[in-house]
Structure 1
């Protein structure tokens, strides 16, 4: 029984882990390149990307609606309807994507000013966002293609595309940031150009392959002549998850704004800490996907004790990952942090923060995996409620730590730990107590991993 369950978890989790790690290696390398090129560049990029992702998270959530509707149609044996959903989503997602392009091209600088960014960091960030805005000319088709593959249950094309894009981005970053092998030295702007090139190629390639997915028919004729009323349902499905995503990212925007009022460089250091934290996240996120799928199946079969066993097993695996990564970071902190900067002053600031980050990783893992299990059991509203309270609490506690106790970035991380801890307790409790109360007919929820749609440095 345990062996079979382990095999099920690994079968689902492993492909997600591979594609997430490919993306993470790209993100890690980019951060290291920028940190060594100019440490202020990390502040510029982190200030730019937090609000960038806050708005983008809602768009990503809409693709969940596409995936859910395609999966439901296929489950009902209606491939024709699934094709209409895919074609209509291609059309409307691309229109929305063009709106994002115009917004960031024309208003990106003003968003950074509202974040409290000024001086050299503002100039670098504004130029970075302006270049990156052109990614949205093809992002809509990427989101739709990813949703199609997720909906039909074929994730290998997404994984392979993400690996190719990551490798291309790393090479282009090295050439364009530092000006190697005759290429111009573009610095921070080079990172944006590298992302633009690699993402555009990835977006077009994935979209083209999704037209020949082998399961549902997706044709240009249908894309250019979308079925009325279909996208309204997609929007209703996706917008529910979008609110939760935006609450989380909105809190991050406020936190960065607080840091900018006291020490603009801290925003860059916060980016380094988050990059390190995301190592464990990108590994156990695959286990979280397994929790969603397997708990959902067990709940649908009214096997509630099995659902609890699956959730607990997945949470245990996530905690094991955090322990291993935490021991690695704690054993060689200097070597790890030295990958991002050679400035002794910066490294001295980061060293104690690394220890707080290790502590944060444990309750965060419980939150993510237990949250996925709760959604798999059919209760998406619970996670929205806890995120709503979490957003209010972390902003209030962070403000107290930063402005009253004068703890700066360390205080913000302490607030992060407090937020993750209380939510991990209540979310895990909800999973344990609520599992037996979930009806077999609960609304299905599909977790989509940010693979093809990720926009990084």
Structure 2
């Protein structure tokens, strides 16, 4: 549902034409840099919280939550300062025309509220997930998404006497929904676990030492997710150099890849949470192997479901996006074979990555991600778009190629089994 913010906005503004979709695509590529860093540090916090929950150490649990929240807020404030300084020239250089540039600036100025809200909300989500309360974050989005749709529709089209803000109206709807979602999660934390915040002491003696230790643990994980998000955003900015209809097709399909792919990714993330809790309890290696065997077999069902949903989206695109140009819809259909294959290696790689992180092999996971992205996908995308004039379908196929490149190093590392002996403080 986090990725669904952009999907919802894209669906709602698609009736305004390819120009409006291009505004959203350009804005989302830039804002995605900060959202990705927030998600990165929050995932590191989630692993620490899972380990603390497994060990039943309340001081550790409080330390992980407050350290993660402090880091998230610091990252987002620094990021917004950089955004204020450099986003304008970047937009002007990449936008197809002055109208798209102006729309992107307006959208980003409002979307900054979403970024701040997610800095808090995603840390709270990591806390509840790490403690096994996975239904609560989902419930928060179920409350927020209808608000997002309602407010956005009213402000995009100027219904019921409201001003017609176009794409900016979609940003306002997302901002209102994000603030509501964060308030809901904060209220749940205070209502269910207020005593946790009053637990005395810190994991490493003082808050400064605890924060430093948390940051040291988080940095490789944040670098992994941050690299993936930055690479995705750089590719998104490269997509902006495609013809406007091709760029609109990529803008529409990439958020769907993230949203629908979340079924497989969160299956793997849940496995990582359980492995973290089991390692916190010093679970024997054979029990871990048996658990992961079941997880892996079930992941193929999740990947198959994702592939079916991708196929449905592509085949139903004439009805989902009836106002789009026929060439844009034809491009969406050309993505279908890639989308059917993508979930299987992607889901298996995700199980490896989350399990290795929970077992302390965060640096290895970082290297696999970083080198596959920056030695292959980003330069290959740049070459295909800027120099080779490749078709947009070939450009999109590089997403699948990256997963195939990561497959062997991830699975070979899992078979070695060193992650089973990883200690929490390592």
Range of TM-score over shorter length: 0.7 to 0.9
Verify the 8 A CA contact 1:319 1:365 in the aligned structure 2: yes
Which residue is equivalent to 1:322? 306
Gaps of 5+ in 2: none
Pick the aligned partner of 1:53 from 32, 46, 68.
32
Moved more, 56-65 or 44-53: 56-65
Q: Distance in 2 between matches of 1:357 and 1:401?
A: 19
Counterpart position of 1:169: 148
Q: CA offset at residue 171 of structure 1?
A: 1.1
1:418 to 363, 388, 401: 401
- Distance verdict in 2 for CA 1:218–1:270, change over 3 Å: same
TM-score, normalised on structure 1? 0.79
**How high is the TM-score relative to the length of structure 2?**
0.85
* Contact 1:43 1:121 (C-alpha < 8 Å) held by counterparts: yes
Compared with structure 1, are the counterparts of its residues 265 and 106 closer, same or farther at alpha carbon in structure 2 (3 Å cutoff)? farther
Report the counterpart of residue 367 of structure 2 in structure 1.
385
Give the deviation of 1:194 after TM superposition.
Answer: 0.6
Secondary structure of 1:338 counterpart: helix
- How much has 1:295 moved relative to structure 2? 5.1
Deviates more, 1:309-318 or 1:166-175: 309-318
The answer to whether the 8 Å contact 2:311/2:336 transfers is: no
How far did 1:420 drift?
A: 1.9
Q: What SS is found at the alignment partner of 2:179?
A: helix
Does 2:149 correspond to 1:149? no
**1:26-45 alignment to 2 at 5 Å?**
27-45=6-24
Q: Secondary structure at the match of 1:184?
A: coil
Q: Is the 8 A contact 1:41 1:121 kept in 2?
A: yes
Task: Quote the residue 1:259 is aligned against.
Answer: 239
**Matching of residues 20-419 of structure 1 within 5 Å:** 20=1, 23=2, 27-91=6-70, 93-113=72-92, 115=94, 118-214=97-193, 216-218=195-197, 227-294=207-274, 297=278, 300-303=283-286, 305-307=289-291, 309-329=293-313, 333=315, 335-342=316-323, 343-391=325-373, 392-419=375-402
C-alpha distance 68-336 of structure 1, shift in aligned 2 (>3 A): same
CA distance in structure 1 between the partners assigned to 2:423 and 2:243 by the alignment: 46
1:33 touches 1:340 (CA, 8 Å); kept in 2? no
**Distance (whole Å) between structure 2 residues aligned to residue 123 and residue 349 of structure 1:** 27
Native 8 Å contact 1:152 1:215 kept in 2 = no
Unaligned runs of 5+ in 1: 1-19, 446-457
Q: Assess, with a 3 A threshold, how the Cα gap between structure 1 residues 123 and 219 changes in structure 2: closer, same or farther.
A: farther
Deviates more, 1:381-390 or 1:290-299: 290-299
In 2: Cα distance, 1:25 partner to 1:55 partner = 16
Note the 1:431-450 alignment, pairs <5 A: 431=414, 433-434=415-416, 437-438=417-418, 440-443=420-423
Between the aligned partners of 1:440 and 1:329, the Cα distance in structure 2 is 40
Distance in 2 (alpha carbons) for counterparts of 1:68 and 1:350: 37
Q: What's the CA shift for 1:238?
A: 1.9
**Partner deviation per Cα, 1:250-286 (whole Å, 9 max, x = no partner):** 2223323333334245333212111332353122233
Q: Distance in 2 between matches of 1:42 and 1:90?
A: 33
Evaluate the alpha carbon distance shift between residue 268 and residue 443 of structure 1 in structure 2; reply closer, same or farther with a 3 A threshold. farther
Q: Distance in 1 between matches of 2:135 and 2:252?
A: 30
SS of residue matched to 2:197 = coil
Cα-Cα RMSD: 3.2
Q: Name the CA distance, whole Å, in 1 between partners of 2:341 and 2:322.
A: 23
The number of aligned residues is: 416
- 1:104 positional shift: 3.1
SS of residue paired to 2:208: coil
